[in-house]
């Protein structure tokens, strides 16, 4: 493939060590698709006849189909240095020297840049679909929860009551931002490097728009040096996956806590839990614990590529071969994580009685009580102090605010009247947060409908609508 300039053979260990087929075999669908697009550009340039182009493209399709059924046969090939070489060898085995004409006017530098863009684009399509499925599961649970309440927490201390649906919809917001980030990444990467050559551009007068169009890119890349050395899209993709994993980890942590006897807010589904080999009574949250751990692997991939690219001179360098494995690993990890989170979320059971009981103790209506005084004309800082004194009084006597008599309350201010108790019920406490994005019951009902609409719109308007992937379940 490149040995003409050399007199001595490669050191055998180095030869094996520097090869990439053991991992870039995963790019076979992208490599064959990009090669077919290049063949069309060669046909338009008069390098290939229509018959030759047809023979090459049909053979490439046959190679892709053949090895889709036995991908392990690719990485075990002893001759090929990388996926580009592998396809060329297979092509020439099928159609002889005609296969050698395919490399006219191109370089492996532009090939790998194109293959990786296609892989990431397809990965985004899959992951957007997975995120949508998980968001739908969260919305389904929010609808089922109705007006069930739970404590919210700040500093991991009970703060104010919120609807369970409000808590679930907080995660829907995170996932929709994740989709937006991935869509943005897809927009920026969707330019075709084919025709960039090794560094300075193709030496043939190729119509680069032909390959770009054939592969559904927006347009050809604008600069050959940038196109062959750009891995921004890889870093962006991995950073977006890190955010996905962070959101999944936060959800997993809360479910893990809520499933403890100390909280008792949720019951873990047996289909997604494990037991203990020593303690017969245990039901362990292995799924959520593993989800928490995955963020380390995915963020590690992002850091790997970021540090790898740091300080690289233009244009292509062999260092860039090392950007592939972290992409493959992170994409598969994120896919598997999201695959399991959607059905798990649907199967979790919320214990409304325990959550409501937790809301009725601990003065979670103190903010509503202070708001009551504000409506009576008391400045908030003074209202805060008055209610703080009332809470201290309740703590000393072991009673909640709604257990105090009106006479007892009036010692903290004359503003307390008989309507105070109606203002601090659980329902009234929820409804005093009557702002867009608040936990007032009618606001959450509206937010739930809006979330359903946005998820449906996502399916129609996401940059990547057709989900076809080559690495799912790999």
Angle at 362 between CA 356 and CA 365, to 5 degrees: 75
In DSSP notation, 136-157 reads HHHHHHHHHHTT-EEEEEETTE
DSSP state, residue 163: E
C-alpha 166/C-alpha 142 separation (Å) is 8
Q: Is 379 helix (H, G, I), strand (E, B) or coil?
A: coil
Contact between 200 and 224 (Cβ < 8 Å): yes
C-alpha 439/C-alpha 431 separation (Å) is 7
C-alpha 181/C-alpha 175 separation (Å) is 10
| 116 alpha-carbon distance from chain centroid | 18
Name the active-site residue from 16, 58, 66, 276. 276
According to DSSP H, which parts of 107-207 are helical? 108-145, 164-189
Angle at 84 between CA 81 and CA 89, to 5 degrees: 75
Is residue 155 part of the annotated active site? The answer reads: yes
The residues, any chain, with a CB within 8 Å of residue 10's CB and separated by 6 or more, are: none
Is residue 58 part of the annotated active site? The answer reads: no
According to DSSP H, which parts of 215-365 are helical? 224-229, 232-258, 286-309, 324-347, 352-359
349-359 in b/e form (b: 16+ CB < 10 A) is ebbbebbbebb
C-alpha 406/C-alpha 372 separation (Å) is 14
C-alpha 389/C-alpha 403 separation (Å) is 15
C-alpha 149/C-alpha 413 separation (Å) is 30
Name the active-site residue from 12, 155, 277, 405. 155
Smallest CA-to-CA distance from 74 within 59, 61, 89 is with: 89
Smallest CA-to-CA distance from 215 within 87, 469, 33 is with: 33
What amino acid positions are annotated as catalytic residues? 155, 276
């Amino acid at each position: 493939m490149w040995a003409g300039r050399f007199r001595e053979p490669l050191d055998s260990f180095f030869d094996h060590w520097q090869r990439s087929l053991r991992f870039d075999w995963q790019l076979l669908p992208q490599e064959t698709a990009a090669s077919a697009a290049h063949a069309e550009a060669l046909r338009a340039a008069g390098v290939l006849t229509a018959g030759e182009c047809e023979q090459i493209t049909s053979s490439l399709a046959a190679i892709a189909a053949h090895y889709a059924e036995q991908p392990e046969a690719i990485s075990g090939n002893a001759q090929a240095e990388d996926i580009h070489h592998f396809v060329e060898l297979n092509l020439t085995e099928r159609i002889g020297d005609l296969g050698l004409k395919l490399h006219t006017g191109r370089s492996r530098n532009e090939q790998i840049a194109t293959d990786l863009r296609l892989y990431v684009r397809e990965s985004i399509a899959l992951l957007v679909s997975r995120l949508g499925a998980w968001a739908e599961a969260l919305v389904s649970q929010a609808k089922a929860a109705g007006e069930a309440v739970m404590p919210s927490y700040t500093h991991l201390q009970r703060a104010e009551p919120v609807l369970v649906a409000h808590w679930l919809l907080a995660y829907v917001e995170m996932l929709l931002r994740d989709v937006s980030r991935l869509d943005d990444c897809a927009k920026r990467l969707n330019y075709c490097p084919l025709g960039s050559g090794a560094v300075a551009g193709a030496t043939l007068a190729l119509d680069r728009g032909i390959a770009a169009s054939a592969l559904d890119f927006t347009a050809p890349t604008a600069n050959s040096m940038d196109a062959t050395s750009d891995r921004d899209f890889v870093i962006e993709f991995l950073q977006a996956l890190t955010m996905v994993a962070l959101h999944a980890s936060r959800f997993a942590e809360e479910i893990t806590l809520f499933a403890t006897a100390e909280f008792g807010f949720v019951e873990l589904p047996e289909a997604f839990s494990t037991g203990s080999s020593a303690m017969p009574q245990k039901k362990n949250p292995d799924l959520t614990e593993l989800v928490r751990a995955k963020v380390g692997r995915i963020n590690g991939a992002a850091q790997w590529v970021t540090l790898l690219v740091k300080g690289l001179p233009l244009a292509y360098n062999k260092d860039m071969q090392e950007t592939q494995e972290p992409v493959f690993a992170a994409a598969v990890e994120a896919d598997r994580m999201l695959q399991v989170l959607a059905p798990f979320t649907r199967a979790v059971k919320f214990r409304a009685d325990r959550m409501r009981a937790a809301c009725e103790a601990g003065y979670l209506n103190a903010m509503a009580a202070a708001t009551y005084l504000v409506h009576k004309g008391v400045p908030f800082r003074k209202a805060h102090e008055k209610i703080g004194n009332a809470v201290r009084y309740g703590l000393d006597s072991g009673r909640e605010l709604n257990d105090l008599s009106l006479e007892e309350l009036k010692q903290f201010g004359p503003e307390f009247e008989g309507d105070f108790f109606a203002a601090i019920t659980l329902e009234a406490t929820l409804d005093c947060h009557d702002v867009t994005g608040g936990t007032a019951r009618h606001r959450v009902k509206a937010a739930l409908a809006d979330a359903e609409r946005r998820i449906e719109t996502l399916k129609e308007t996401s940059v990547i609508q057709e989900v076809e992937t080559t690495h799912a379940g790999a």
